[in-house]
Structure 1
Amino acid sequence: MNKKLGLAVAGAVMAFGASAANAAITIPAGDWTIDIGGNVNAYYTHTKFSGDLKTAGTEDVANTVQTGLLPSALGIGGKTRQNDLDIAFQFTFFTGVDSGNGGAAGGNNSLNIRQAYLTFGDKSWGTIKAGRDLGIFGSDAILSDMTLLGVGIGAGSGGSSTLGRIGSGYMYADWVGQISYISPNWNGFSFAVGVREPWSNSADASGSANGSNSDIRNDMGYEGKVSYEWTGDYAGKVWLGAISQKHDVNTGSVDNYTSRGWDLGGKVNLAGVGLVGYYYDGKGLSGSTAASLSTAANGLLFLNGQKSDDKGGYVQATYALPGVGTKLGLSYGVSKSEADATNVKFENKSWIVGAYHPLTKSLNLVAEYTDNKLENIGYSAGQDGKAKTVSLGAILFF
């Protein structure tokens, strides 16, 4: 993947602290500069299910045309300099291409405004962000995932996106309401801290398991990371992050607990070779309770209703063919969760092989093969399944 396409990826998903500077369309508007950019992608996916992922009365093969891990998006942002402050805003609209329901209009995808935030600050003291954007914890893991340009796991179930390695190597950073501070860059070193909207556990979300939503009070979530990045022929980055949120439960059926976790990762690039290594560990993080592939693999934070023991990580190697530009990649990842109540270990692991070819500076052709295995689905002992997916498609950045 060439440099411009790499910047487009970062611009499309708006990595933490980034602005819309990578957009392809720039419009001067008085004191403001308006940026417009985004992506469109579509993939043919062929998924074969086996074991308990193939439920009674369903086919064991799913063929779809769908969006990959990165939903198709249109982003509109603006920036200006006023009273010695850099001020910016960003709105990004995400959607998918899967019509679902036998081709009925609308189908399984919808319009989702995942980004709506403002920033203000100065390079001398840092930046404040307020609004909805990608969370801090786990953000580098998903932004370093090669399947950001492709499909990964979770194909064949419809919806506006697949899962990449979410729930099979890292927890989902998600798009959350937040107030965050991003430090200046001190010769490669930087940090970010923030308070984020709280996630509720399953009882609070349903409003029925414990009588009413008032039975459970969730404090705000807190997250942060420190990182060091360097450039040159041997470029790379290392980071360390953490997250915490307390759950106060006013019922005898569920104990009070604190969801917390930490992660450590690094990546390097040298002469076309890229290596990524990532690990996370925590308590009460997993949301892997459902029996379907898409939700069991999702790994949303704090939705389990109990304090599980969670850990996982992934390793990834890529190589860009000289002169051709095609990037070949291989990655392996696993996520494990053990529920306190059942003492059953859920495991989601996968191998992914991919080829990503820049047909032009804006258009990438993608081919992937994914071998995904789930053990003790939904913390049910002996409920195991596999999903093997071949995906072919393209992603266009503008």
Structure 2
Amino acid sequence: MNKKLGLAVAGAVLAFSASAANAGIIIPAGDWTVDIGGNVNTYYTNTKFSGDAFDGIGRKNSVSTGLLPSALGIGAKTRQNDLDIAFQFTFFVGANSESGFGTTGATPLNGGESRAGDGNSINIRQAYLTFGDASWGTIKAGRDLGLFGSDAILSDMTLLGVGVGAGGPGNSTLGRIGSGYVYADWIGQIQYASPNWNGFSFAVAAREGLRNQLAQIGDEEKTKLGVDGKVSYEWTGDVSGKVWAGFISQKHNNTLTGDYTSRGYDVGGKINIADFGLVGYYYDGKGLDLQTGQQLGGLQFLGGNKSDDKGGYVQGTYKLPGVGTKLGLSYGISKSDNSNGAAVNPGVDFENKSWIVGAYHPLTKSLNLVAEYAQQKVEADSLAGNIDGKAKTISLGAILFF
């Protein structure tokens, strides 16, 4: 597998201990080594909706990609003047031809119709350069997965599957974005990553400022650069694992909310003992999360709120000896309290929780068959009234790494 394909693909494989990590196409090109890799995945999903939050939506069947869109990554590396130099471009695309871009294009559940010439988009989520040396670290400049929340999504078993968020348009589902963690997202950034000191490392980045309203923004909007970072310790052996802690911060200013700062922190860990694996994760923040009262949630800052946000998830997996099938069960929840001076959805408290069970079978060293069941419940409580809804999804499919 292309080592420079990045966190979304290589990280997914490594986090889930899939055997496809040794795949890939290596091409010598003079002083450079070109590396090509990626994945293709497709799932049949059947989602049953109920409750006020999904009023008018019954059952939806779809054929689509999962949480990880299909991807083709092209990168190269070389050593020049005592520097390791590399670049990476990765192109992501979905199987679903229904209109919508990513998870934030059309209305999550009602947008678009399937048309051959309108509805599938190539999304270049990675485009960056790196330079550095093992003695002092690495500088990264360009677009890549953000640092805050990255270990949460890369440790999520549904990265090889669907999770929640099926039945809508776009290039991917949600996994447990919004019901266990805030999406790390693909961000323009300038990042420094330290060397690895016997398992200990850290990284920090200045990142593009994000809009903090869904509505039209006037000329008064001023975006500031954000900053995020994380520190981690990883170990190997009969009992292997990783622990990490991270942070994120960005200042906002507009006529609706005035000046305020979104911020958050997270802590997490995972441990593997023989064929058992366990993950635990927690985050807390202010002005951090967007919850809509429907499936969509966990998007950084877009709510434009001085909200109180928190959540987390726990996950257990077991690999069947001999067979190789990995069974997993996880539960997660995200809460957003908008009663503390919120300008958007004032006084509304959101709760988005889900539990997911999955089976991931390595048919070959490159091909995994996947079966999942996900049950999501969303609630929005306010003085004007309460709404809730459920989405129950069965998904069956396959993911191929190369």
Normalised by the length of structure 1, the TM-score is 0.90
Residue identity matched to 2:66: G
Residue identity matched to 1:105: A
SS at match of 2:386: coil
Once the two structures are superposed, residues 47-83 of structure 1 have per-residue CA deviations (whole angstroms, 9 ceiling, x without a partner) of: 0000024323x4x000000100000000000000000
Cα distance in 2 between the residues matched to 1:66 and 1:36: 24
Residue identity matched to 1:176: I
Query: Compared with structure 1, are the counterparts of its residues 23 and 197 closer, same or farther at alpha carbon in structure 2 (3 Å cutoff)?
Result: farther
Query: Compared with structure 1, are the counterparts of its residues 217 and 282 closer, same or farther at alpha carbon in structure 2 (3 Å cutoff)?
Result: same
**Contact 1:363–1:395, Cα closer than 8 Å, also in 2:** yes
Q: How does 1:84-99 map to 2 (within 5 A)?
A: 84-99=82-97
Residue identity matched to 2:283: Y
Identity %: 69
**Contact 2:5–2:74, Cα closer than 8 Å, also in 1:** no
Does 2:347 match 1:343?
Answer: yes
Does 2:243 match 1:242?
Answer: no
- 1:10 Cα deviation after fit: 6.4
What does residue 13 of structure 1 align with?
A: 9
SS at match of 1:376: strand
Q: How does 1:260-299 map to 2 (within 5 A)?
A: 260-289=263-292, 291-293=293-295, 296-297=296-297, 299=298
Cα distance in 1 between the residues matched to 2:92 and 2:246: 27
Residue identity matched to 1:121: G
- 1:150 Cα deviation after fit: 0.2
SS at match of 2:387: coil
Cα distance in 1 between the residues matched to 2:91 and 2:206: 24
Cα distance in 2 between the residues matched to 1:9 and 1:316: 26
Does 2:46 match 1:43?
Answer: no
Query: Compared with structure 1, are the counterparts of its residues 221 and 200 closer, same or farther at alpha carbon in structure 2 (3 Å cutoff)?
Result: same
**Contact 2:313–2:333, Cα closer than 8 Å, also in 1:** yes
Query: Compared with structure 1, are the counterparts of its residues 379 and 219 closer, same or farther at alpha carbon in structure 2 (3 Å cutoff)?
Result: farther
- 1:13 Cα deviation after fit: 2.9
Cα distance in 2 between the residues matched to 1:133 and 1:106: 29
Residue identity matched to 1:86: D
**Contact 1:10–1:143, Cα closer than 8 Å, also in 2:** no
Does 2:159 match 1:148?
Answer: yes
- 1:200 Cα deviation after fit: 1.2
- 1:377 Cα deviation after fit: 7.8
- 1:254 Cα deviation after fit: 2.0
**Contact 2:349–2:382, Cα closer than 8 Å, also in 1:** no
Residue identity matched to 1:236: G
Q: How does 1:286-365 map to 2 (within 5 A)?
A: 286-289=289-292, 291-293=293-295, 296-297=296-297, 299-339=298-338, 340=340, 341=342, 342-365=346-369
SS at match of 2:170: coil
Cα distance in 2 between the residues matched to 1:10 and 1:360: 23
SS at match of 2:54: coil
Cα distance in 1 between the residues matched to 2:121 and 2:387: 31
Query: Compared with structure 1, are the counterparts of its residues 159 and 128 closer, same or farther at alpha carbon in structure 2 (3 Å cutoff)?
Result: same
- 1:109 Cα deviation after fit: 2.7
SS at match of 1:140: helix
Cα distance in 1 between the residues matched to 2:26 and 2:82: 22
Does 2:87 match 1:82?
Answer: no
Cα distance in 2 between the residues matched to 1:267 and 1:278: 9
- 1:152 Cα deviation after fit: 0.2
Query: Compared with structure 1, are the counterparts of its residues 313 and 307 closer, same or farther at alpha carbon in structure 2 (3 Å cutoff)?
Result: same
Query: Compared with structure 1, are the counterparts of its residues 139 and 377 closer, same or farther at alpha carbon in structure 2 (3 Å cutoff)?
Result: farther
Cα distance in 2 between the residues matched to 1:323 and 1:199: 47
Query: Compared with structure 1, are the counterparts of its residues 361 and 12 closer, same or farther at alpha carbon in structure 2 (3 Å cutoff)?
Result: farther
- 1:103 Cα deviation after fit: 4.2
When structure 1 is superposed on structure 2, of 98-107 and 82-91 the one drifting more is 98-107
Normalised by the length of structure 2, the TM-score is 0.89
Cα distance in 2 between the residues matched to 1:153 and 1:331: 12
- 1:221 Cα deviation after fit: 0.4
What does residue 390 of structure 1 align with?
A: 394
Structure 1: gaps of 5 or more residues: none
Instruction: State how many pairs are aligned.
Output: 377
Query: Compared with structure 1, are the counterparts of its residues 78 and 281 closer, same or farther at alpha carbon in structure 2 (3 Å cutoff)?
Result: same
Structure 2: gaps of 5 or more residues: 15-20, 99-111
Cα distance in 1 between the residues matched to 2:60 and 2:308: 33
Instruction: Provide the aligned C-alpha RMSD in A.
Output: 2.2
Cα distance in 2 between the residues matched to 1:37 and 1:116: 15
Equivalent residue for 1:71, pick from 64, 69, 77: 69
SS at match of 1:307: coil
- 1:292 Cα deviation after fit: 4.0
What does residue 227 of structure 2 align with?
A: 222
When structure 1 is superposed on structure 2, of 275-284 and 239-248 the one drifting more is 239-248
What does residue 27 of structure 1 align with?
A: 27
SS at match of 2:151: helix
Does 2:366 match 1:368?
Answer: no
Equivalent residue for 2:193, pick from 173, 182, 185: 182
Cα distance in 2 between the residues matched to 1:320 and 1:230: 20
Cα distance in 2 between the residues matched to 1:326 and 1:388: 23
